[in-house]
Amino acid sequence: MGRKKHGPVGVTFFTTFQVAKFLGVSPPTVVNWVNSGLVSAHRTPGGHRRLRLEDVVAFARAYNYPVPHQLTGATEDEPPSARRVLIVDDELDFAQTVADYLQLKGNFEVETAGSGFSAGVAVARFQPAVVLMDILMPDMDGFEVLRMLRRDPRTKKTPVIACTAYRDAAVEQRARAEGFDGYLEKPIKLDKLMEMLEDALQTGKRA
């Protein structure tokens, strides 16, 4: 089967081996994804699996795999996506629910971090445009992580929105005084979060 041209990356379909190389997993893992219905594929007349570019990119974004420039057509020197959001929260179900909503409804590229420590690693690797930060976490609280980000020249201007289950005016006042670019109380309204993210991305205005 011939490969069809598709924009800067040059092909529409990929083998399971190619997809495994792009996403940093083993070829059997990709086969398992296909067999489990997590990503679509079709078979050639010879029985070989082929995955569409669009399906691979959608899968990678849905399951928080970094999308390599070979799939997007971007060059390595281009800046990261302007719609990358990092969610830092030790409540994993909450973080995943918010991530799913932002990906499906807002076309955001989302990653999650379950602790303040892992947030630092994720920020350096993922380079988010906006961070949604839980305030109370077991290792480093959100205030500590914010100060860490503000000390780094690469992230000192990255908008960070505080998110907390504490309904306390003093906590909100401290969050704004310490330099958070927005404040949300749990349970959050997802449409309100979407508005705050769009505002932070487009204008840099404090929410």
pLDDT tens digit sequence for 99-140 = 999 988 888 989 999 988 888 888 888 889 999 999 988 888
For position 3, what pLDDT does the model report? 38
Q: Where are the domains of the chain?
A: 7-72, 84-202
Separation of alpha carbons 148 and 109, rounded Å: 23
For position 72, what pLDDT does the model report? 62
- The terminus-to-terminus CA distance of the chain in angstroms comes to 52
| pLDDT tens for each residue of 37-68 | 888 888 877 777 888 888 888 888 888 887 76
Q: What is the CATH number of domain 7-72?
A: 1.10.1660.10
pTM above 0.85, yes or no: no
Decide: 108 and 84 in contact? Cβ < 8 Å. yes
For position 76, what pLDDT does the model report? 45
Decide: 49 and 34 in contact? Cβ < 8 Å. yes
CA 134 to chain centre: 16
Q: What is the CATH number of domain 84-202?
A: 3.40.50.2300
Decide: 135 and 172 in contact? Cβ < 8 Å. no
Is the pLDDT at 159 greater than 60? The verdict is yes
Separation of alpha carbons 15 and 98, rounded Å: 32
